[in-house]
A and B are shown apart, each in its own frame.
Chain A
């Protein structure tokens, strides 16, 4: 919330612009249960915004470079233009990319902030990759109190830390419409913060090639509203963590 209050005016303008483009793109086939461009979580929304900005930038630069080339080769007057080479090289080769890169880094790198496990958290889940299924354990201070397989239940508007690990080879935990992916690496636990922003059923998939049936290592993510999640949690805990 604090983020939104301090957001600067250009930020809001950009955000509005991006929402308009995203809405237009959504109708053009960017939606879907696994789309990074149809965000249902804070991290995915932040990345989608910077993603759209960069895609627009890419198109602008492609148009610029192609235009310059077409002019250089297909211009009507083919006599040498005697343009100052030093200025072209400094301007196009150094100043232009430098300015764009610095702006992009300064503005863009913080888009990942909401996916870092910083500050208080509302729920902790341990996600363990196995060839070729996912095991989700819901943790409190005493360890796991509920468990599901290939189905992850989350409460909406909560900060959830997913502790990703593996029992065999490298996998990668990814729910595109909630946020970025993080690898499950032997001997390590990597933590990813997710914050679902709307109720519904999403899909996730292992993103790192993990052998024969990698393509089938998929899972569902069910985002509940708070009451619903509490009810599910009670049922799942009574279940003793068995596969629902």
Chain B
């Protein structure tokens, strides 16, 4: 045997040993152990498959709608059933299909695009999945039990309030959807921290694939977009359960507050759905144009602009509620100007194709469907943004047609293209074009046959959400054609699913990178192993597979970062957020039942509330908090480690020992969620104060000023105590004293804040009392959690998890305590300051 032969065999053996070690460390436990899985590919696929099941359910519901509307006066469905069906169709498609599918895509693909082995918080994504599954199940069970929500997917009060919807139906929506939204929040927090911190070495922000930018902005939009909906849902559920009159005009509430909160979420939601779809388009176009994307920086700027503008449009859903004319003109203009960043993306894609060498494969056909349908939806959106036209078209079938053009064109078509594009990677099966083309034409023609003339159905006067309509208004043929089109569309989707199943079962094996794409995911074996990369690539380009010769072999042969397994750890690289310079080794947590247990306990909380068993809810909430603390306990290190070998000749510290750990970013993103929730609450407080008619209330809060003074001093003391603990710890002294101060002060603050609540009239008497009690309760809850966290930190320190080098726990809790101090000071200032100001200048009229 020759010398090179021996060297080759040794290299081969080393390679196999490394892969075997990775296999052992990353394996998902078999059997019941699958419930403990946290790996991003596993969880991502679970999200995708579950969301597709909901898509089929939502689709079947739409078939019932089309069957009912096929002819005038159809006796097929009664109004009660129909109202549940159309409400559930919208709810399922918006909350249980699109958003979870986006989450699945993000979880599955982001580490593969960014050159990582997993996400920043794998257990958090597993927790999100269980929340989604349990929350979605609540809605499904209600559907089959015949008590599904029936007031439309935007749940306008007072129709959705206790007086006009006394049944459990509305509670099912509020509680089920809030439970599902926990997963959206978890996704937002996880992906912000992941995209910013968990990439491979050398991947600076400017080398990041556009998908990363799209998901970063989407995640940030979810972080600030979902809190208004969650707040609104909590307020409405509290009104329904305990008669706190937030939306009751007779008692100082206002039903329009609900609409503002809902659409403050609801419009960004449209872009939360569109941006990930544009992301997959931006990944496919360069591959099929055989050149890098044109206008990368333009697209990044357009994504960021979309994110900002989308929060300034919500009132265009409310042009008929009687808003001042000037305000409507502003929102009308803003709604149209959002077309500009979208147009920039379209022309960047076109320019890429013009300046490339386009290859006409099946995904490109679906992208034509996307372009055609979405452009139409966008243009009818501009029409609807014009106030006078909106007054006619609003709440008619024109809007139904418009929103389906936007959502099916702007989301479903790109995702169908993506399914064919990434099928070889995800399943290892070669793409085939035959059945996919049939499916495309059935879906494309069926879609337009359903919805194109539906614009006209609306303009000749047919409102949306009617279970029946009379003959003789010119609506008969339009509706019949839509129903026929709907069934063609369904046939198309059936053909697509059939094709997918056949491919997955019996497709030919795919070679690696069959489209000759340039991004990192195509360097993985097809399908990818759970650890993704045998070693993490050294990234020097936006399209590493096109520009870096031999990269594939470097990755496979362990010449990248972190090639070898040690201590049975799952490791990935943490980088500087902007430059992509490696700055830490992130040790990932392995499989655990804690995400499932925590979500199940949270389910006890939600189901208890649904059943009116509030003691059970309290037990569930406390137990879930306990499980979360147990979960947090398992993170971190119980001793200091030196810097460790990270491959490519560098040594790096472990993540628990650096300032800039993902956990810190996670808490920062979490507080952004919380802060948005708080600001929305302040908006509600001030909105009712200024706009609602039955104000001022009979009495404002009455307490000697010393009591809020003590509360304010106490929250400040607790924040300073934690700050002191962090500083002492960093200087090598004990943090215990600062933590004890923080704990005691937070306890005093919690007690004083609860005492403040008793100085307000009963919350059932007036919206003022209700919203003031809610605000003070929010602060008291935060003070109480500070007590728990300070105690947790003390215990962690006693057990040796905290040292001068391992200060992450302390710094994360310091963030929380500082946040609590700020919101409490603002809330107390508002609660005591506004009545004083009103006393001086008089109540607003």
Interface, chain A (partner B; CB < 8 A)? 29-38, 43-44, 46-47, 50-51, 54-55, 57-58, 61-62, 65-66, 68-70, 72-75, 78-83, 85, 88-89, 91-94, 96-98, 101, 104-105, 108-109, 111-112, 115-116, 131, 168-170, 172, 174, 176-177, 179-183, 185-188, 190, 203, 205-216, 218
Contact = CB atoms under 8 A, between A and B. Distances in A.
A209 B159 contact: yes
A88 B322 CA distance: 41
B593 interface: no
Interface stretch (B236-244, B469-477, B627-635, B705-713): B469-477
Nearest to B344: A93
B291 interface: yes
A105 B336 contact: yes
Contacts of A66: 368, 371-372, 375
A236 to B, nearest CB: 26
Given A58-B376, A89-B348, 20 more contacts: A30-B474, A33-B472, A47-B388, A50-B389, A57-B379, A79-B357, A81-B354, A83-B354, A85-B355, A88-B354, A89-B351, A105-B336, A108-B389, A115-B388, A176-B392, A180-B390, A181-B320, A181-B394, A182-B391, A185-B256
Contacts of B694: 187
B459 A35 contact: yes
Interface stretch (B218-226, B325-333, B577-585): B325-333
Given A69-B368, A109-B387, A181-B395, A211 B159 contact: yes
5 contacts: A81-B354, A88-B350, A89-B294, A93-B347, A209-B152
A69 B350 contact: yes
B693 interface: yes
A76 B237 CA distance: 61
A182 B390 CA distance: 11
Contacts of A85: 294-295, 348, 351, 355
B340 A33 contact: no
Contacts of B83: 211-212
B390 to A, nearest CB: 8
B461 A36 contact: yes
Contact of A80 (B350, B355, B368, B393): B355
A50 to B, nearest CB: 6
Among B249, B332, B351, B693, the one with the most A-chain Cβ atoms within 10 Å of its Cβ is B351
Contact of A93 (B343, B390, B461, B475): B343
Contacts of A172: 320, 395
A101 to B, nearest CB: 4
Interface in B277-308: 291, 294-295, 298, 302
A35 B465 contact: no
B426 interface: no
A50 B388 contact: yes
A62 B379 contact: yes
A80 B375 contact: no
Nearest to B475: A32
Contact of A209 (B336, B387, B391, B465): B465
B231 to A, nearest CB: 20
Contacts of B395: 172, 174, 181, 207-209
B479 to A, nearest CB: 12
Nearest to B374: A65
Given A182-B320, A186-B158, A203-B473, A78 B357 contact: yes
Per DSSP, chain B at the interface is: helix
Interface in B453-498: 456, 459-470, 472-475, 477-478
A105 B332 contact: yes
Given A78-B357, A79-B357, A85-B294, A101 B388 contact: no
A116 B325 contact: yes
A65 B375 contact: yes
A64 B149 CA distance: 43
Contacts of B507: none
A200 to B, nearest CB: 15
Contacts of B472: 33
B43 to A, nearest CB: 36
Among B291, B364, B371, the one with the most A-chain Cβ atoms within 10 Å of its Cβ is B371
Contacts of B91: none
B572 interface: no
Contact of A207 (B80, B396, B474): B396
A115 B389 CA distance: 12
Contacts of B346: 65, 92-93
Which 10 pairs from chain A and chain B are nearest by CB?
A: A180-B391, A34-B461, A112-B388, A187-B249, A93-B344, A215-B466, A92-B347, A72-B353, A190-B322, A32-B474
B206 interface: no
Contact of B383 (A33, A54, A74, A215): A54
A212 B80 contact: yes
Nearest to B460: A35
Contacts of B344: 89, 93-94
A66 B693 CA distance: 51
B181 interface: no
Contacts of A74: 360
A115 B463 CA distance: 20
B456 to A, nearest CB: 7
Contacts of A88: 294, 347, 350-351, 354
Contacts of B465: 209, 214-215
B380 interface: yes
